[in-house]
Amino acid sequence: MREYATQMEAAKQGIITPEMKTVAEKEFTDPEIIRERVALGQIAIPANINHKSLCAEGIGKGLRTKINVNLGISGDANNYEAEMDKVRMALRFGAEAIMDLSNYGKTNTFRQQLIELSPAMIGTVPMYDAIGYLEKDLLDITAQDFLKVVRAHAEEGVDFMTIHAGINRRAVEAFKRDKRKMNIVSRGGSLLFAWMEMTGQENPFYEYYDAVLDILREYDVTISLGDALRPGCLDDSTDAGQIAELIELGALAQRAWDRDVQVMIEGPGHMAMDEIAANMRLEKRLCHEAPFYVLGPLVTDIFPGYDHITSAIGGAIAAANGADFLCYVTPAEHLRLPDAADVKEGIIASRIAAHAADIAKGVPHARDLDNQMAEARHRVDWEAMFQIAVDPDKARSYFESTPPSDRHTCSMCGKMCAVRTTNLILEGKKVEFCTER
């Protein structure tokens, strides 16, 4: 039996855990730096004691930006094998986390298979699962019922859980007072808001927050404090509801750390580009440097079918200015449950955003592959380029779809390739185009 209950408790005691060593190795840094920042709450290592297949990742200060892939069934699309295909896709393309957002029927069989298979972190939103798990209508669910679902997910091996504890009566007052175009767009937040309004009671995750923390501490589950009042359109960003909830989340983060429970803070969904940097700094200030997990932000509202791009633009700006964890968005966002092709597009877009931000932040070795790609392009070495590419199959298929007559060029420029021309001159050779007369 280990000497500590959670990664944070170990860090505070000066213990470097196996998970901290794994993270340090992946991040090319000293394990002691990881330990110090876990103790301060600046880095989280979501690692449930029951997730045996996990290969630990760190989220937070000074580390690579991580990405999360959402999947899971709904009442209208409940093919678990299709969801498992998405899991394999996410792992293939390097997602560090997978969230099972299933909200229909008994979901624990799929979740247990996912936890058994996945070396990536697994997250859930217990609020989504409550109705199916308990087989009760929303109004009939009690505060203690909600805690049962949290415990069930923790026992199964979930590494982090989105808990919407910040939408308490004070935050709801601010939301109601400051009229919004889109009201509440968080699924879990809307369900809790409805439950609070129908029952007249306080948010159970806020009222019984200490009991929630006790469960999470027992299994070393990281709490991801959900942003129930995140903006769902540009016009609602940085309003009273969003900021009021963020203030509550800062206080809740400190309470979790006092009980050695690791914390992430969830952030805005839709936001104009000029507001993103300030929001990242505001979260770090109000939430005491806790790791920040953002959905997007989507920087415009009028491109359904292309929201993986609007999200990647916002995600790159967010991560370059302090966000630590990006939730992917697919082309199907706002339209339907994503299929496997949508999942791939969403993952690649998020990886572009995360990688671009890591280069901007100077994360150690972030540029290594870019430098290798430049060297391969300098040599016009197509095989090396394909191997370095994040999606080598797509790169190869594009190149081969219109093959050049000369493998030292591509069909875009042919023999007028700038790289070829310059290489020939620097090698003391002539540049000739009209070799046949």
Across 70-105, b (16+ Cβ under 10 Å) vs e yields: bbbbeeeebebeebeebbebbbebebbbbbbbbbbb
Q: Which two tokens stand for residue 165?
A: 């504890």
333 is in an annotated binding site: no
What are the tokens at 282?
A: 């505001």
How far, in Å, CA of 369 to CA of 347, rounded? 18
Could you give the maximum distance between any two Cα atoms of the chain, in Å? 89
Q: Is 230 annotated as a binding residue?
A: yes
Question: Tokens for 169?
Answer: 């009566």
334 annotated ligand binder: yes
187 is in an annotated binding site: yes
Nearest Cα to Cα of residue 187 among 291, 339, 334: 334
Known binding residue 104? Answer is: no
355 is in an annotated binding site: no
Residue 293 marked in a binding site: yes
Residue 243 neighbours by CB distance under 10 Å: 17
Does residue 186 have a known ligand-binding role?
A: yes
**168 labeled binding residue:** no
Is 226 annotated as ligand-binding? no
133 is in an annotated binding site: no
Determine whether the annotation assigns residue 434 to a binding site: no
Angle at Cα 160 formed by Cα 126 and Cα 312, nearest 5°? 100
55 assigned ligand-binding residue = no
Residue 41 DSSP class: T
Residue 192 assigned ligand-binding role: no
Asked whether residue 164 is marked as a ligand-binding residue, the answer is yes
Q: Is 288 annotated as a binding residue?
A: no
Alpha-carbon distance 270 to 295, whole Å?
8
342 in a known ligand binding site: no
Is 275 annotated for ligand binding? Answer: no
How buried is 33 (Cβ within 10 angstroms: 0-12 exposed, 13-18 middle, 19+ buried)? middle
Q: Which residues are annotated as a binding site for [4Fe-4S] cluster?
A: 410, 413, 417
Q: Which residues are annotated as a binding site for Zn(2+)?
A: 270, 334
Q: Which residues are annotated as a binding site?
A: 70, 99, 128, 164, 186-188, 227-230, 266, 270, 293, 334, 410, 413, 417
Q: Which residues are annotated as a binding site for substrate?
A: 70, 99, 128, 164, 186-188, 227-230, 266, 293
